[in-house]
Chains A and B, each alone.
Chain A
């Protein structure tokens, strides 16, 4: 029995050590660096208090990238949730080739953000006004020229164009989550509502939507943390863009640290990014593990 306890501990030990060092130890170390003077190639660990943070908050690129992330996250979440929910509800109406539709909606999830970025950069490439390409070319051919846009090259649009590619990639995931949720609702509930003469609209409004609330919450958390960290897609599709109109903190951190060698400054951005994600994730983890214990 004692031997079993020892073995079970030994099984878990490698993971505990690795996570302890490479997640928690490293976060502490990054936090430490953010308070030091290490802003060129050579490490300088003299402490400078909150100087790096103060400078960061005054930095224009940081302000723009924070604003961009919030705009991106908001639009991305709203669009993915609405599209994902609509598709799930419609697919649940005894659709003949449901399988095919479902697979088409979901396959972008399997693809790298880099591939997505490369393709959408071309589709949303505005070309020139005389020689439009991509989506603009289609608008021209359909006589919808007024819809033409500079997409990600227009500083007023910037990051919002990246939302289109992100929604393309992730909305199918939301659809799958909602569909699994709808299928999990006991059919007696639907039947009872029908016996009571409730319209389809009312069934969804008063039975399905409330029952799917945990899924909505889960989807917000999952998409939210991906969105706050978004990096690959922006790098491949636009880079930081004209006047940083496509910039995000994850990219700013990479540029600052690994291109500019401002390690302490980069560590600051990383810590702020971590706090943003933590605010979203920690309450959710606590909540879902607690409700798991109750079950």
Chain B
């Protein structure tokens, strides 16, 4: 029995090492100074901690044409915040109607909306670029915000629909009898209890929009408006950029979602499980 327990822990620890190895590499490499970066010692701990590579990854180095990530970090923030808020509100509105004001055809409309979150976006990219060019949103942050709001509708609707399904319908019915109307019920009954739903949806949207790459790549080809994932890929793709700068850049890119995961992990989990359709 004792041996069995020991083996279980051993196995769990070995896997923990597997998941943590990239973190170790990221941290040790990015904290080394340029003088200390040496391929042979890539697994060694840094002898002294240096933030040189973070400064370079953040500010860049114009003398050798290295673009820093600071502008792109801000771009990502500018686009993530409005897109997250807007898509959360759309999801809340849809969820409210689809659970509490079901109409004929609601059972057809919901799956049709939901399908939108599974499609490979390649199948809409060409018309998307054409359309954004026509309406003057191509290559801009508002354009990216718009795109993320539109393609965020399915998941935000799904999460709010599952969440509002837990509000007892009797509550709504009795409010109706008391003479409350559609907007009144939303404002006074549904919205005030929506905060956990908003937390799950906003954290989910924040993480997935921050981590998006494809839309950023295709919709924002101009470096000045590129989100951080696209800029990181460019940074890491240039052959003259040292590994410690690449790793520092990767850490900077990963930081906001990791902070969300650490501090709001409970809500992140619920979003994950909602995404698998197994309910919140």
Chain A contacts to B: CB under 8 angstroms = 3-5, 7-9, 11-12, 14-16, 18-19, 22-27, 29-30, 33, 83, 86-87, 90-91, 93, 95, 101, 103-123, 127, 131, 133-134, 137-138, 168, 172-173, 176-177, 180, 214-215, 218-219, 222, 225, 228-229, 231-232, 235-236, 250, 253-254, 257-258, 263, 266-267, 269-271, 273-274, 277, 281-282, 285-286, 288-289, 293
Please provide the 8 A-B residue pairs with the shortest distance between their CB atoms, ordered closest to farther: A112-B211, A26-B124, A110-B261, A8-B101, A26-B127, A4-B182, A274-B123, A7-B182
Q: A235-B213, A250-B120 are in contact. Are A168 and B22 (CB under 8 A)?
A: yes
Q: Is B81 an interface residue (CB 8 A)?
A: no
In the bound complex, CA of A92 to CA of B18 (Å): 20
The reply to whether B154 and A118 contact each other, CB–CB distance below 8 Å, is no
Q: A111-B257, A173-B272 are in contact. Are A91 and B113 (CB under 8 A)?
A: no
Taking a contact as CB atoms closer than 8 A, the residue among A4, A25, A215, A257 that contacts B101 in the complex is: A4
Closest-by-CB residue of B relative to A172 is B19
Q: A113-B213, A123-B25 are in contact. Are A286 and B101 (CB under 8 A)?
A: no
The reply to whether B22 and A11 contact each other, CB–CB distance below 8 Å, is no
Residue of A229, A266, A271, A288 with most chain B CB atoms under a 10 A cut-off: A229
Q: Which of B47-55, B137-145, B192-200, B245-253 is the contact stretch?
A: B245-253
The reply to whether B181 and A114 contact each other, CB–CB distance below 8 Å, is no
Q: A177-B278, A289-B110 are in contact. Are A23 and B124 (CB under 8 A)?
A: yes
Q: Is B232 an interface residue (CB 8 A)?
A: yes
Report the minimal beta-carbon distance from A23 to chain B, rounded to whole angstroms. Answer: 4
**For B90, what are the chain A residues with a Cβ–Cβ distance below 8 Å?**
14-15
Q: Is B111 an interface residue (CB 8 A)?
A: yes
**For B153, what are the chain A residues with a Cβ–Cβ distance below 8 Å?**
15, 18-19
The reply to whether B181 and A27 contact each other, CB–CB distance below 8 Å, is no
Chain B contact residues: over half helix, strand or loop, or mixed?
Answer: helix
The reply to whether B126 and A122 contact each other, CB–CB distance below 8 Å, is no
Report the minimal beta-carbon distance from B218 to chain A, rounded to whole angstroms. Answer: 6
Interface string of B4-26 (1 = CB under 8 A from A): 01001101100110111110011
**For A253, what are the chain B residues with a Cβ–Cβ distance below 8 Å?**
122
Q: A111-B257, A123-B21 are in contact. Are A131 and B39 (CB under 8 A)?
A: yes
In the bound complex, CA of A257 to CA of B112 (Å): 27
Report the minimal beta-carbon distance from A95 to chain B, rounded to whole angstroms. Answer: 7
The reply to whether A232 and B122 contact each other, CB–CB distance below 8 Å, is no
Taking a contact as CB atoms closer than 8 A, the residue among B19, B96, B126, B232 that contacts A266 in the complex is: B126
Chain A contact residues: over half helix, strand or loop, or mixed?
Answer: helix
In the bound complex, CA of A219 to CA of B123 (Å): 23
**For B8, what are the chain A residues with a Cβ–Cβ distance below 8 Å?**
90, 93, 95
**For B275, what are the chain A residues with a Cβ–Cβ distance below 8 Å?**
222
The reply to whether A8 and B16 contact each other, CB–CB distance below 8 Å, is no
The reply to whether A218 and B111 contact each other, CB–CB distance below 8 Å, is no
Closest-by-CB residue of B relative to A174 is B276
Taking a contact as CB atoms closer than 8 A, the residue among B96, B257, B278 that contacts A110 in the complex is: B257
Q: Can you list 19 residue pairs at the A/B interface with Cβ under 8 Å?
A: A3-B181, A8-B97, A22-B151, A30-B126, A33-B126, A93-B8, A105-B19, A111-B211, A112-B257, A114-B211, A121-B236, A123-B22, A137-B42, A173-B272, A176-B273, A218-B278, A228-B120, A277-B118, A286-B111
**For B116, what are the chain A residues with a Cβ–Cβ distance below 8 Å?**
19, 23
List which B103-160 residues lie within 8 A (CB) of chain A.
103, 107, 109-116, 118-128, 131, 150-151, 153-154, 157
